[in-house]
Structure 1
Amino acid sequence: MFADPLDAETPDIEMDADEVNAFLRGQGWGCLTMARDSVAYSIPVSFGYDGDSTFYFQLQTDEGCEKLPYLDATTTATLVVPEVRPPEWTSVMVRGPLEVLTDDGITEALAVIGDNAWFPLAPWSDGQAPTHLSLYALEAEELTGRSSAVGTLTD
């Protein structure tokens, strides 16, 4: 049986910084939302989290792909990282600028992605032609979390 979200007994607890950090280190995927001309565009992404405030993504950026104009136009992106194990749930929201990485940030990004991203590098399967990948960083300016069961979902 699922908890009724309107039921006063269903907890809705704001997570503290340590709980948010622990949750994010154990997830490795979420939905990244960008915007262009007042139109939102969300994509599921695997991410690496440095444990402080930076999130790293490898994104397919082939010429003509739908997300490129959104990546270029977005000044503040939102990453939502949910987990649902009925009746419990947790959700963390991260907001901040999204930037393509240059040579300076690539080594650290790859290390962090390798450490805790859900999806490994090189997302194509055998026999499938490789695509162009770019590395991006989101620097958290806002990081908030709420849960129905703080401390139990990351166990």
Structure 2
Amino acid sequence: MPTETYGQWMGTPMDERDIDRLLTDTGWGVLSLAQGDEPYSIPVSFGYDGGDVFLALIQDSPENTKFEFVEDGKRARLLVTDVDGRFDWQSIGVTGTVRALARESGDWDHAVETLDDNAWFSTDFQRADGIDEITVWRLAVDEVRGLEVREDEN
């Protein structure tokens, strides 16, 4: 059967402009990582600068599992969705390699500004009590795929 028959259920490819808009406007998603054959997914706040995705991972306790899974140079996938209804949604998968940014690097300030611009992140986190450490990561984008079903098109 033709794919168009199931477009209302499966979605149709998003154009680049809509992908950029959703990544810029949403500011949160689910980051999926793996260690061997053990998967791990976490909700994350992210910033998008039109090319790279920046993630701020906050260490608020020594037992925080996410830091056991995220490693410099490791592949990761970020899932970003906007769901208003069964026939009105958008979903984007961003796949790439994560790299930790050093606070001393010139990239740190750009990443924090990007996070502050369009993520669910505040630069105040850097000074908050109860937060042991903030690590900023760049997800260097290798592949972006977006699907959507818009209610007004059905």
Task: Output the CA distance in 1 between the equivalents of 2:151 and 2:36.
Answer: 37
Q: How does 1:58-73 map to 2 (within 5 A)?
A: 58-61=56-59, 63-72=62-71
C-alpha distance after superposition, 1:121-140 (max 9, x if no partner) = 4459x8x5222111111011
SS state of the match for residue 129, structure 1? coil
Number of residue pairs matched by the alignment: 143
One-letter identity of the residue aligned with 2:22: F
Maintained 8 Å contact 2:27/2:45: yes
Percent of aligned pairs sharing the same letter: 27
Query: Please, what is the CA RMSD of the aligned residues?
Result: 2.6
The TM-score with structure 2 as length reference comes to 0.82
How far apart are 1:64 and its partner, in Å? 4.1
Partner of residue 10, structure 1: 8
Partner of residue 3, structure 1: none
One-letter identity of the residue aligned with 1:68: F
C-alpha spacing 1:106/1:150, structure 2 compared with 1 (3 Å): farther
C-alpha spacing 1:117/1:106, structure 2 compared with 1 (3 Å): same
C-alpha distance after superposition, 1:40-93 (max 9, x if no partner) = 1110001000012x1111102354421112112772100000111013111000
Maintained 8 Å contact 2:58/2:131: no
C-alpha spacing 1:149/1:38, structure 2 compared with 1 (3 Å): same
Task: Output the CA distance in 2 between the equivalents of 1:131 and 1:20.
Answer: 34
Partner of residue 117, structure 1: 119
Partner of residue 95, structure 1: 95
Task: Output the CA distance in 1 between the equivalents of 2:142 and 2:130.
Answer: 37
Unmatched tracts of structure 2, length 5 or more: none
Maintained 8 Å contact 1:50/1:112: yes
One-letter identity of the residue aligned with 1:57: L
Higher percent of residues as helix: 2
Partner of residue 106, structure 1: 108
SS state of the match for residue 107, structure 1? helix
Higher percent of residues as strand: 2
Task: Output the CA distance in 2 between the equivalents of 1:151 and 1:108.
Answer: 38
Partner of residue 74, structure 2: 75
Unmatched tracts of structure 1, length 5 or more: 1-6
The TM-score with structure 1 as length reference comes to 0.81
